[in-house]
Amino acid sequence: MKILFDRPTLYGQGEKYVVTEGGVITYIGGARPEGTFDRVISGKNRIMLPGLYNTHTHAAMTLFRGYGEELPLDRWLNEKIFPAEERLTDERVYIASQLACAEMIANGVISCSDMYFFCDNTVRAIGESGMKANISRSIVSFDPKADPEKDQRVIEAQKLYENYHNSCGGRIKIDMAIHAEYTNQAHFCRYLADWAKERDTLIHIHLSETSKEHDECVARHGMTPAEWFCECGVFDVPALAAHCVYLTDSDISLLAEKGVSAAHNPASNLKLGSGVMRLPAMLGAGVNVTLGTDGTASNNTLDILKEMYLAAVLHKGVERRADIVGADAVIRMATENGAKAQRRDNCGQLREGFAADIILISTDDVNMIPMYDPAYAVVYAASSKNVALTMCAGEVLYENGEYTKLDIEKIKRDMRSCCENYFRD
C-alpha cells in the first residue's frame, strides 16, 4: 500500500510530506509528490516520530500486573514471581503476550526485546500483532556439573532460534538470553557465548540491577558482574544489558569498549527500590543506551513515553542540572538507539530508504497545547493517550483508538478469564 502523510511535523525536520510503500519510507520533502496514493493521512496537529523501541521487557508478565507489590527485587522474585511463574502454560503466555502487544502498540511501541519462557507463544502473539520483536528464552543454570548441550532450557532456546529467527518477513529475531550472573554458571555462559558468536546473534542479559547482586558477585568472583560476563566471553558478541544500575567507572568503559548496549529501565528500578542508572556517565562514555519498561509486574505499564519522561527528568534531579539529559538524547534512546541495540539496520529514523516504522502524536489534545518545540512536547508533555497512529513495516496497526489486526475485546475477555483462574487451579 502506498500512503501519503500530508504535512505532519517531523521531529527535527519541520512540516513535510512523507510517502511509505512496501514497508519503506520512499519520500520525505516539502513539495507534495506526484502520483496517486491508496491513502492520504492528514498530518494536521500531528508530530511524526520513528516508532518506539522497548528494549527490555517480559511481555507475558502482564499476568502479574499489580501482584507482589512494594517488595525489593530479591523478595519480589523469590516470594512472589518465581512461584507464580511455576503456573505458566502455553495458553497463558499467549494470552498475556497478546495483551502486552496491544498495550505497546497503543503506546507507540513498534518493537520490543523480550526475555521469558514458553517463547513460541510470544512469537505467535507478536507475529499476529504486526509488531517487531527480538525474543529470547531466559536461561538459568545452577549445577556446576551440568552439561549445557543437554540442558532443556538451552535446547529450547536453540530450537527457538532455528524455527523463528528472521521469521514474519524479518520482523521476528531470536536472541540468546542469559538471565543474570547470580543465576548462572560460568561454563554455561561460555557455551552460550560461543554458540551465539558462531551464529552472529545477540545475547540479552540482566546486569548489576541491585547493589546486592553487584556486591555478592564481587565477593564470589573478585569481579563485578560486567567483568565476569566479559571474562565468560559474553561481551565478545553483540550484547544488550538491562538495568546497569551499579556499574563502576571501569564497567562503563568496558561496555563502551565492547559495544554493549544498555537498557535503561527507570520506572522499574525506582519502583523496586533498586536505584538509578548513571545515565549521564553512560552517555558521556559513548555507551549505546536505550529504554525499556521491564515487565508489568515491576512497572506496571509498557509505556515508553513514560520512560522517556522519567529518563529526562530523573537525572536532572539526581545531578541537580536541568540540562544534564536533553529531550533529543532521550528520543534517540527510544528510537535509533533501540534499533541499533536490536541490530535492525535502516530502522529507527525518519529517512528515505528506512523502514516505515512511524508514529503520530496528536498535538490537538489539551495537554499538548501549545506546541512550541516537537522534542520538548513529546518528552515533557505527551503521554500514551496522545498516540494517534502506530505503523510498523508500512502497515497501520493502530489508528485513533482502533486496532487493525487485533480483536481487542476478545483479548481483554481472555485475559480477565485467565487472571481470575490463575491462582485457583
Q: What is the pLDDT of residues 54-79, one digit of tens each?
A: 999 999 999 999 998 888 888 988 99
* For the chain, domain boundaries: 3-50+350-402, 52-341
User: 132 in helix, strand or coil?
Assistant: strand
Confidence (pLDDT) at 424: 66
pLDDT for 386-423, tens place per residue? 999 999 999 999 999 999 999 999 999 999 999 987 77
What mean pLDDT value characterizes the chain?
A: 97
* Best CATH choice for the domain 52-341 from the list 1.10.287.130, 3.20.20.140, 3.10.180.10, 2.40.160.40: 3.20.20.140
Q: Are strands 289-291 and 261-264 parallel, antiparallel or unpaired?
A: parallel
Confidence (pLDDT) at 425: 54
Contacts of 121 (CB under 8 A, 6+ apart): 60, 90, 91, 93, 94, 97
Confidence (pLDDT) at 12: 86
Between CA 59 and CA 292 the distance in angstroms is 12
Q: Is the pLDDT of residue 96 over 90?
A: yes
pLDDT for 218-234, tens place per residue? 999 999 999 999 999 99
Decide yes or no: CATH 3.40.50.300 for domain 3-50+350-402: no
pLDDT for 330-350, tens place per residue? 999 999 999 999 999 999 999
Q: Is the pLDDT of residue 173 over 90?
A: yes
Between CA 106 and CA 98 the distance in angstroms is 12
pLDDT for 17-62, tens place per residue? 999 999 999 999 999 999 999 999 999 999 999 999 999 999 999 9
Residue appearing with cell numbers 553483540: 238
pLDDT for 387-396, tens place per residue? 999 999 999 9
Contacts of 393 (CB under 8 A, 6+ apart): 23, 130, 132, 169, 171, 355, 356, 357
pLDDT, average across residues 146-154? 97
Note whether 3-50+350-402 and 52-341 share their fold: no
Categorize the per-residue pLDDT at 105 as very low, low, confident or very high, splitting at 50, 70 and 90. Answer: very high
pLDDT for 251-278, tens place per residue? 999 999 999 999 999 999 999 999 999 9
- Do the Cβ atoms of 248 and 218 come closer than 8 Å? no
In our burial notation (b when 16+ CB lie closer than 10 A, e otherwise), range 365-390 reads: eeebeebeebbebbbebbebebbbbb
